[in-house]
Amino acid sequence: MRIGGAAFVLWAGLMSAGAAFGHGGASGIVKERMDVMSDISRNMKSMGTMLKGGSAFNPDLVIDAGDAIAAHAGDRLTALFPEGSDHAPTEASPEIWKNWSAFSASAENMKAAALALKRVAEAGEGKKEIAGAFGKLAATCKSCHEVFRIKK
């Protein structure tokens, strides 16, 4: 079956960005949030692989991954960005602290999208509906990164 092409292009881009930049000598809170992002990324990857047919269709995997991502989102995520923590090798943009309310809203959007994805899987919807919700979640990654993450 065909699933949302755009969502996968988006997802593939996120994954390669993660692989290309890595953790390069980060420590403290910067390392901590990079690890959290990597964990989020791993969960996205296992869902993406499944949705592309690389592993068996398994709604439980989506429920668990949605939960794990939601648990890292919202206030939990913003707590990893104390003011002044924009030292090397971070990719966090100073824009975060200039526009904290938009950054927080973005972290909340990710949480809402992860929970929505989980609910679609819990409701017993098919692969197409799950792929749609997955695409919406992937879009929240991109919209935050575009503004608040510096590409190196």
Q: Which residues bind ligand HEC (CB under 6 A)?
A: 14, 18, 21-23, 30, 33-34, 37-38, 40-41, 44, 69, 77, 90-92, 103, 106-107, 110, 137, 140-141, 144-145, 148-149
CB of 59 or CB of 96, closer to ligand HEC: 96
Q: Is 1 or 83 the residue whose CB approaches ligand HEC more closely?
A: 83
How many Å apart are CA 114 and CA 44, to the nearest integer?
A: 10
CB of 81 to ligand HEC, least distance (A): 7
* Residue number, 84 or 124, with CB nearest to ligand HEC: 84
CB of residue 113 to ligand HEC, shortest distance in Å: 8
In the bound complex, what is the minimum distance in angstroms from residue 1's beta carbon to ligand HEC?
Answer: 23
**Beta carbon of residue 56, minimum distance to ligand HEC (angstroms, whole number):** 22
Strand partners, 92: 149
149 forms beta bridges with: 92
As measured in angstroms, the least distance from the Cβ of 144 to ligand HEC is: 3
Whole-angstrom Cα distance, residue 123 to residue 146? 32
8-state DSSP, 92: B
The C-alpha atoms of residue 115 and residue 133 are separated, in whole angstroms, by 10
Nearer to ligand HEC, 59 or 107 (CB): 107
Q: Is 92 exposed, middle or buried (0-12, 13-18, 19+ CB in 10 A)?
A: buried
Q: Which is nearer to ligand HEC, 59 or 111 (CB)?
A: 111
Sign of CA dihedral 142, 144, 145, 146: positive
Q: Is the dihedral of CA 117, 14, 96, 37 positive or negative?
A: positive
